[in-house]
Structure 1
Amino acid sequence: MSDNDLFSDDFFAEEEVCEQEVKQPWNVLVVDDEEEIHRVTEMALTGFSFDNRPLKFINAMSAQQGKDAFLNNNDIAMVLLDVVMETEHAGLDLAKWIREEHKNLNVRIVLRTGQPGQAPEQAVIRDYDINDYKAKTELTAQKLYTATLTALRAYQHIMILEKSKQGMEQVVQATRNVMDKLGFFTFTKAALEQIIALLKVNDAMLVNLDSHAIEMDHHKQALQTICGTGVFSNVEEQYSHLDQLPFQDLLNQALQQAHSVFTENEILIYCKNESHSVMFYIATDHPLNELDRHLLEVFAENLGVGLKNIELNEQMKSSQREVIYRLTEVVESRSNETGYHVKRVARYCELLAKLYGLNEEECEVILFASPLHDIGKVGIPDRILNKPAKLDKDEWVTMQTHAQLGETMLTGSGLELLDAGAIIAGTHHERWNGTGYPNGLSGEDIPIYGRICALADIFDALCSKRAYKEPWGIESVLEYIQSESGAFFEPRLVTLFLDNKEDFLKIGQELSDPS
């Protein structure tokens, strides 16, 4: 398909090339079955540069070779595509394949044909997702330059949007990775890890500050925790107060503006809640572009929301804990058991939960909810609750109702700790072999909170003095727990308990009843 008029106009004047760093070239795929078209195209675009990036030509002599080029290159910016090659519509079929099968919606497709009658422009533009249509007879050197520049500029804009979309997806994912962390310090350390991943840097520092101390201008008292990576790995040993940090100018600017600060080679991301100000200092070897800076600011805003949510969550948990403490005081006022019993049981439960492999949040829940295990005793008559002797059969039946009473009292609150307390109250007297009460549950049908509290409660009860008994010796207690493995208690919990008995005994000593 020869075309003597393909580049009939004088080619644009050669411009002086600035001495700038040459970037990666734009990949331009030429698909045409005439070698002359390839040669003339490259000659016409000699010296072409857009955004200080030259062209790199990829040549294909057929539609099949064009497909292969796409399969081997994932960054083709533009296709100069002939229509009639191995078949009369080979180019159109390739255009359809690029969009529909190869799923490449970014590359700019410029259709070139020497036989416009076989592929009318209006029909092609309507039916195929191409970006420009040129008859070879009209495609002068200047028009080819213009078409190429227009296509590459459009591709660049698309890729900027694509990068922005991908960056935002990374920010969203990074935010998710942080938001599921429990507690302020765990949250901020996770945020530091995500910032390092987003920016692909090694040298970063996390600084947690007391917002109230900052407001009072007590900088030496403001620094709460500090940690770092890379060259900042030992910052905990190097800096003991705020005025020692190596980025004072950025620090003061961020505090004054209550905003993140960016320089050529330094970044200070700032976010806060009522109690804490958090700063992430990052040293880079190159300035951030506008997109990356914007994404970091979005991430910082998300972190700020997360910090506020943590604060609200802590306030809610604090309120729940206060309710629990008040309720346990009611039980203590009715029972001869001391408040140290519930404190010890709570600590035993927390330790057992950690040894069992429960996550941080679950360990915290059982720590604060387990004091409610005997809340149902408020419904047991004093004559039974504080009887200084063994209960008779009827009294024992009445005493057993405290488990169901406790569960009923706490169920339906919609509050995490109270809901967990309901589970513990209702199941901590169930037995692994199914002979417990109130529902005769067995094995893993007993919730893990109940299984843990059962062992913790019995251990403390046997070690403690009661109105009806003296404390057992520790060896007798350990022998009893061992003997009840697989009967009263889950075998795995018994093994964990006995393997770590010194830690449990230490808790008992620290929280022993006043003499």
Structure 2
Amino acid sequence: MDFLLEEASETGDVLQIPWKVAVIDDERDIFEVTRLSLSRLKVDDRPLQLLYADSGATGYQLLQEHPDTAVAFIDVVMESPEAGLLLVEKIRSSLKNHAVRIILRTGQPNQHPEEFVIQEYDINDYKAKTELTNIKLKTCIYSAIRAYRDIMTISNTQQGMEKVIASSQAVLRSRTLHQFGSAVLQQLLDLLNIQSSEVYLVSQSTDLYGDKVNNVLAATGENIQIDEELSSPILPDHVRELVNFVIAGGENQLSDFAFLARFDVGDGAANVLYASLAKPLDALQAKLLQMFASNVALIFESLYTKESIQETQKELLLVIGDAIEQRSKETGMHVRRVALMCELLAKKLGQSSDFCETIRYASPLHDIGKIGIPEHILHKHGKLDAQEWAIMQTHAELGYQLLKKTKRVIAKMGAIIAHDHHEKWDGSGYPRQLAGLAIPLEARIMAVVDVLDALGSRRSYKEAWPDEQIIALLKAERGKHFDPQLVDIVLEGYSEFKAIRLQLPDPDLGAS
């Protein structure tokens, strides 16, 4: 049973949540006297809500159902001479509630001496029932509730710091601008205690050719869809319509449970923040969200330009690989397939995310040295003679020489792959006759993947091999041409590697 001593009052539009005060006593009259004494009392402009239980057992259940109780007056003697003391132990140990201020009351002070009780039990005060006059009861309530308020302030600050640390770790782990922006946005929502099903921060700008471009800078929520190719959030139709509406000059007419605002950030560019909310924002929350939306684009403007340059560089590596393969009368899809296959094999091997991403973009450079091989050798339909074969083999060293002076990690790995991907596990490869683990891992991965894709693809001089024949060759060359561990991984996940070949078939030739 509970009583709200005064209806929740309003300050502006904000309801004042009452302080919960529990009275646990087997004498109903004690509760009624307490209720009358505290009638219309407020602490920090918040009313009191009295909760009642008549035994240690029901008191435990009451505090279990109301963990946010600020103060509990507990009678020592109820269904047993020590029922109140046992309840105190259960509150602190079983419920692990160390915030509620516990005030023991007793009608038999000589039965449980005050000094003993204060020392042995985690309580905040110990009073004889005759002591708590009307004035002293109110004084006791003021003191206890303010102590509870301060404890909760410290606790909330600690939780806030934990959220900052956890969110900061998420921000630092971000590997793309979209992940970074989303992590920062989620951190802000956590710190402000904003519950939302979805939030989008969208930047709309006009490019050099007059086209409107929407970039999702950040997004949070359980139902956010990610573009797998770009690893960025996909803007839903209903959000896109709202963004375009606001950019065109429309006014926000959404309900209190949604937030929509536009912020101009430069010539021809604006940010739009959209949030679907569990409850309306207060003034501080709205202001800080607006500050985030208006300022984050200043960071993104610089970072997005840098990321665009990096992505362009990665795409150019694929284009270079395509060009080399086409000069060799191969198809450009080969380099794109081996890029994905190398990444897949590296992941299955348990390599770091940095290694997996780097090998994806470095692998298209594996045959870059063929740019220095004469076309009559590259395009010869028949078998190369000894002299021609010796010239062809120089492409490994040529590729290495082209890339070795760079300080960029992708090109560094590209140099290693170009140099050593024709080495063989048994030491019979070229150009350095390396064997076993002396062959760099990235080159061993490329060696398996290059052959795997080449055999499964149709060429002007051969048909694609059937899967059974490819698997048989991999098994035969295990420990000879190829690293045995890598062969085992490829065979175990063969269907996944084949799926990449089917996903990116050779143009005009089809896939096997």
Provide closer, same or farther for how the CA distance between residues 495 and 88 of structure 1 changes in structure 2, counting only shifts above 3 A: closer
Structure 2 CA distance, aligned partners of 1:129 and 1:298?
A: 45
Report the 3-state secondary structure (helix = DSSP H, G, I; strand = E; otherwise coil) of the residue aligned with 1:57: strand
Q: Is the 8 A contact 1:400 1:438 kept in 2?
A: no
What are the equivalent positions in structure 2 for 1:160-179 lying under 5 Å apart? 160-163=153-156, 165-166=158-159, 169-170=162-163, 173=166, 176-177=169-170
Q: How far apart in 1 are the matches of 2:169 and 2:333?
A: 36
1:393-435 CA-to-partner distances (Å, cap 9, x unmatched) read: 99699869869979x9699x7x653565477457744779999
1:224 aligns with 2:220: no
In structure 2, how many angstroms separate the alpha carbons of the residues matched to 1:73 and 1:427?
68
Q: Give CA-to-partner distance per residue, 1:56-104, whole Å, 9 cap, x none.
A: 3132434x55444434442322111344667777645644553355322
List aligned pairs for 1:220-369, cutoff 5 A. 223-225=213-215, 233-236=237-240, 243-244=247-248, 246-247=250-251, 266=259, 268=261, 279-282=272-275, 284=277, 287-289=280-282, 292=285, 307=300, 311=304, 314=307, 317=310, 338=327, 344-352=333-341, 364-369=357-362
The equivalent residue for 1:206 is 201
User: How much is the aligned-residue C-alpha RMSD, in angstroms?
Assistant: 6.4
Task: Quote the Cα distance in structure 2 between the aligned partners of 1:311 and 1:57.
Answer: 57
2-structure distance, mates of 1:349, 1:418: 16
Change (3 A) 1:17 1:495: closer
What is the distance in 2 between the residues matched to 1:293 and 1:242?
17
Query: Any conservation in 1 of the 2:262–2:272 contact (CA below 8 Å)?
Result: yes
- 2:21 maps to which residue? 28
1:255-300 per-position Cα deviation (integer Å, ceiling 9, x unaligned): xxxxxxxx99636497999x99754222558542467568858987
Distance 1:364 1:509 in 2: 29
CA contact (8 A) 1:356 1:493 kept: no
Taking a change above 3 Å as real, the CA distance of residues 271 and 118 of structure 1, as seen in their structure-2 partners, is: farther
Q: Deviations over 1:188-232 (max 9, x none)?
A: 56777888896333465431234xx69x9x9x7564236998997
Matched, 1:112 2:105: yes
Letter aligned with residue 439 of structure 1: A
Residue-pair matches, total:
464
Letter in 1 for 2:138: Y
Distance change >3 Å, CA 42–CA 416, structure 1 → 2: farther
Contact 2:104 2:123 in 1 (8 A): yes
The answer for unaligned runs of 5 or more in structure 2 is 225-234, 478-486
1:61 aligns with one of 29, 41, 55: 55
Q: Tell me if structure 2 keeps the 8 A contact 1:179–1:306.
A: no
Give, as a single letter, the amino acid of the residue that structure 1 aligns with 2:435: N
Q: 1:439 maps to what in 2? A: 435
Query: 1:75 corresponds to which residue?
Result: 68
CA distance in 2, matches of 1:61, 1:16: 27
Which structure dedicates a bigger proportion of its chain to helix?
1
Change (3 A) 1:505 1:17: closer
* Structure 1 residue matching 2:130: 3-state secondary structure: helix
| Residue 155 of structure 1: aligned partner | 148
Closer, same or farther: CA 322–247 of 1 in aligned 2, 3 Å: same
Higher mean C-alpha displacement, 388-397 vs 144-153: 388-397
Residue matched to 2:30: 37
Counterpart CA distance in 1 for 2:173 and 2:445 is 26
Identity of aligned residues (%): 28
- The structure-2 alpha-carbon separation of the partners of 1:245 and 1:479, relative to structure 1 and needing over 3 Å to count, comes to farther
Question: Aligned-pair distance for 1:370?
Answer: 1.0
Report what 1:491 is aligned to: 491
Structure 2 distance, partners of 1:483, 1:249, is 67
Amino acid in structure 2 at the alignment position of 1:225: N
Partners of 1:271 and 1:91 in 2: CA distance: 63
Match of 1:455 in 2: 449
Is the CA contact (8 Å cut-off) linking 2:257 and 2:280 kept in structure 1?
A: yes
Q: Does 1:417 align with 2:407?
A: no
Query: Which sections of structure 1, spanning at least 5 residues, go unmatched?
Result: 1-13, 251-262, 466-470, 511-515
Q: The residue matched to 1:369 in structure 2 has which SS?
A: helix
2:23 partner letter:
V
Q: 1:107, CA displacement in angstroms?
A: 0.9
Which shows bigger deviation, 104-113 or 387-396? 387-396
Q: Which amino acid aligns with 2:96?
A: K
Contact 1:267 1:281 survives alignment (8 Å): yes
